[in-house]
Amino acid sequence: MTRLLHLDASPRPGRAGSHDHGSHTRRLTHHFVSRWRTLEPDAEIVYRDIGANPPPLTSVEWIEAEFTPPEQKTEAMKAVLAESDALVDEVIKADILVLGAPLYNFGPPAAFKAWIDNIVRIGRTVDFDMQYGAHPYVPLEHYVPLLSDRPRHAVLLSSRGGFGFDPQGPLAAFNHLEPGARTALQFIGIGGFHSIAIEHQEEGGEALAASTESALARIDRLVEQLHREFATSRLTQPA
């Protein structure tokens, strides 16, 4: 059984194509999960709507609690980290992270960045080898990703007001959503990263419709690809 973490970061509550002023990213994540359920009806789906209920921002109390050794944490510190711990648990259990996040002002929505900050946790999702002394962060190879114990994939489904933000596009250097997410997630050990986006949202009309259809078709192909990979992996696992 495959475990999916379905996360929506758009503040728009509905789905484009079904609701007035609906979210394009919610439409994409819903399409991915629906397609997966068609191929694997018993897949476990955990849903979290951080667009409606954003994770807590990093605070002084959060930092103090995070960097206090486990045996010294007070009950108040544990309470401060409780939601972050729940978010981390969801990521650890997931095989595939289905992440819906629009591109806002060249980067992620605040809720999505807060989610990243809550799941990159020393001792839970990443660690470093102390033998390298006082500078364990240089080079990056000295980090120890704790989620590389088994194959995990992240699928980032986005929407953009303009166009040309793909890796080979003229505005690729202005896109800080996908590169930032890829860096953070691979840093903690999630090896597979896939991104699909809708563009031309501000232009609308035929350009938006064509981009939407292309994104949905790419999702269909990606679902089939990942489903085959996980099915093959389960067949090769020891009985």
Going by the annotation, the residues of the binding site for FMN are 10, 159-162
CA nearest neighbour of 16 among 236, 212, 218 = 212
Rounded Cα distance between 44 and 19, Å, is 26
Ordered alpha helix ranges (H), 131-204: 178-187
Per the annotation, binding residues are 10, 159-162
Tokens of 143: 């980090």
User: What is the C-alpha separation between 62 and 157, in angstroms, rounded?
Assistant: 29
Residues 6+ away with beta carbon under 8 Å from 29: 6, 7, 8, 98, 99, 100, 157
Q: In this structure, are residues 154 and 99 in contact, taking their beta carbons and an 8 Å threshold?
A: yes
Q: Which residue has the tokens 């929407």?
A: 159
Other beta carbons less than 10 A from residue 174's beta carbon: 14
Question: Which residues partner with 8 through β-bridges?
Answer: 49, 100
Nearest CA to 159 out of 118, 219, 81 is that of: 219
The encoded tokens of residue 60 equal: 């002084």
Query: For tokens 């648990």, what's the residue?
Result: 89
